[in-house]
A and B are shown apart, each in its own frame.
Chain A
């Protein structure tokens, strides 16, 4: 830069009103740079909404593409932010490496979910511009959840996300299953929000603040008392509902089964990542002083989720229900990392969520491709003989299933490895042992799908897979298979992110 220009700049700024205005605009822009992705999503969603309303039905497909573009812009803005930790709005919003990494994962999950849904929406005749916009609004809620450093910010982000999810679960409003899914999700979600708020109000009442940092300060000097623990129990109950951990999992299979399949693909990926990130941040930054108290609750819901996910999935024949129980189990495994309550544990959770996201999107690309001329099929027996009808799809799906079961050397093994390692380092041996046993039981139903694909007599062929699904399945399969060769980028990023919580 030319030093002379810098010298003269203040003078000319004072003289020139235009530059003064530019400066007045630029300064707040710079101050709010850390939450620029959120601002872009909010403004972009509103702009797309206007575009959709003015151009009506014809604009659905362009708006889907524009929504993906919007999510990509938000991701680029996050990538451009560097690596420092910034607090905004007097400490109620935090943007640190943890937030950045998990925001990127959420944006990825949302964008891929929109990308995979074109063909389904066209066939089901529900190609409406509101769907991508609601997904963008839900993603905005997720970013706010991940950055929340305050109970109110957490609740507002969570509500924004949940409200959008309730609507898109019922998006196929003429199908009774979809309406039922939306209504069930809404009623149970409202109940869980109530419990969460009750817990928040108790925590606020006993510590005097809603900010995580100040709650932690108050606990350090005052310690835990009964009322506060009561509040934390309600708080965890509300959060456990959002990550669909046992015993607050009842909604998951029905909602996954009833919602339109691309919406299910979305539900299984990005919202889970965001809710788990919020869970981890709330526990580790607001209540580090009383880890021993909340640890036992997390250990319990983690064990219960792993076991229920493993045993209840065995009897399922509908692949969407099966994936619902699978996701309950996986959330149990991710909670193992949180139960450890250490930086290694948080790193394990992050690695787990990233790999879980990739595997799930791949599996749902296959589920969305289970289509014949007379419509979608969802029974797992329809996959029979896929190995001879479509060998490549069968191979990649088999790899994804092996990975979900946690068989080395696929990515899913490393996901489980890091969380169990953290649990053992934290001395939680029973938890780790039960987790490994649950993953062995869980392997049964993943392997059953592989057996159906490779050893059963072939069923009728599926329609050819659309390009979008092919590419998602391909990329997901490649990541899962070759993660072992080059795990460093994810593991290192997760380590940096986890360190920022402590």
Chain B
């Protein structure tokens, strides 16, 4: 009973917030509504018994991604009025594609049947919640069965980082940088110049 009430609370707030993300005029408000949608989705995950996903959603999406969005929105000063200018022009075509996709999705979901042998071939059957916690169940496969995928994802992130640096980093000429070796190698001969100042005159 309580769970059902919370489900409707989280679900309705999520949908309303998601709608506001695309409807609000102010991009900063849109990002704040996005955060609200994320937090409520996390609540839905908790209700499903997927507490690990819920926490990850808070930490990664709310903590990092949304803040990043906020930074970008505030720093880039995107002109949303200009972005929307082509909206009406592309509306018929985009709407047509959207409707086709919707019909196709309905066809697919209408034909939803699970093959009879599927239960035998399920990749990693989820252990029952009473045996292990959600996080532990993920941990059991992440570094054993899926370690190859885990490492591969790491290589992809490395590549993305290298790519971002290659394409954007520019070493400017004439910028003074710290050179520790040079600092340590300084001695009185190279750094101090002694001048005899005659009295009554400047240097």
Contact = CB atoms under 8 A, between A and B. Distances in A.
**Genuine A/B complex:** yes
Contacts of A35: 148
A130 to B, nearest CB: 4
Given A156-B156, A226-B108, A90 B118 contact: no
B15 to A, nearest CB: 22
Interface stretch (A204-212, A248-256, A258-266, A333-341): A204-212
Given A46-B158, A163-B156, 7 more contacts: A163-B160, A163-B163, A167-B166, A206-B114, A215-B121, A220-B117, A222-B115
Contacts of A152: 146, 149
B91 interface: no
A208 B156 CA distance: 26
Given A90-B145, A202-B108, A217-B121, A171 B152 contact: no
18 contacts: A89-B146, A128-B166, A130-B162, A134-B166, A137-B159, A144-B152, A163-B159, A164-B159, A166-B163, A167-B166, A206-B114, A208-B123, A214-B123, A220-B117, A222-B117, A227-B109, A230-B107, A230-B108
A221 interface: yes
A476 B167 CA distance: 33
Nearest to B163: A167
Contact of A230 (B104, B116, B155, B156): B104
Interface string A149-191: 0001100110110011011001101000000001000000000
Given A130-B162, A167-B163, A227-B112, A157 B152 contact: yes
Nearest to B164: A167
Contacts of B145: 89-90, 92
Interface of B: 104, 107-109, 111-123, 145-149, 151-153, 155-156, 158-160, 162-163, 165-167
B117 A221 contact: yes
Given A128-B166, A208-B121, A92 B148 contact: yes
Interface residues of A, number: 51
Of B113, B123, B160, B165, most A-chain CB atoms within 10 Å: B123
A475 B83 CA distance: 53
A206 B115 contact: yes
Of B104, B159, B166, most A-chain CB atoms within 10 Å: B159
Contacts of A373: none
Contacts of A173: 166-167
B167 A134 contact: no
Nearest to A230: B108
Contact of B163 (A92, A134, A156, A215): A134
Contact of B111 (A42, A144, A157, A226): A226
A8 interface: no
Given A89-B145, A153-B149, A156-B153, A225 B113 contact: yes
Nearest to A88: B148
B30 to A, nearest CB: 22
Given A89-B145, A130-B162, A219 B115 contact: yes
A208 B111 CA distance: 16
A121 B97 CA distance: 44
A127 interface: no
A130 B107 contact: no
A401 B119 CA distance: 54
Contacts of A225: 111, 113, 115
Nearest to A56: B171
Contacts of A163: 156, 159-160, 163
B162 A217 contact: no
Nearest to A49: B162
- Where chain B touches its partner, the secondary structure class is helix
A217 B152 CA distance: 27
A230 B104 CA distance: 9
B111 A156 contact: no
A303 interface: no
Contacts of B109: 227
Contacts of A137: 155, 158-159, 162
A480 B162 CA distance: 38
Contacts of A159: 156
A166 B160 CA distance: 10
A361 interface: no
B116 A222 contact: yes
Contact of B118 (A89, A93, A167, A207): A207
Contacts of A230: 104, 107-108
A412 B142 CA distance: 46
Of B108, B109, B119, most A-chain CB atoms within 10 Å: B108
A182 B148 CA distance: 29
A182 B163 CA distance: 11
B159 A160 contact: yes
A466 B153 CA distance: 39
B111 A134 contact: no
B155 A167 contact: no
Of A163, A171, A173, most B-chain CB atoms within 10 Å: A163
A494 interface: no
Contacts of A210: 123
A25 to B, nearest CB: 17
B66 to A, nearest CB: 21
Contacts of B152: 144, 153, 156-157, 160
A140 interface: yes
Given A153-B148, A221-B117, A227 B111 contact: yes
Contacts of A144: 152
Contacts of B122: 208-209
Contacts of A328: none
Contacts of A49: 162
Interface in A98-134: 128, 130, 133-134
A92 B149 CA distance: 9
Contacts of A153: 148-149, 152
Contacts of B108: 202, 226-227, 230
B166 A130 contact: yes
B6 to A, nearest CB: 27
B159 A218 contact: no
A218 B114 CA distance: 10
A42 B153 CA distance: 12
Interface string A40-52: 0010001001000
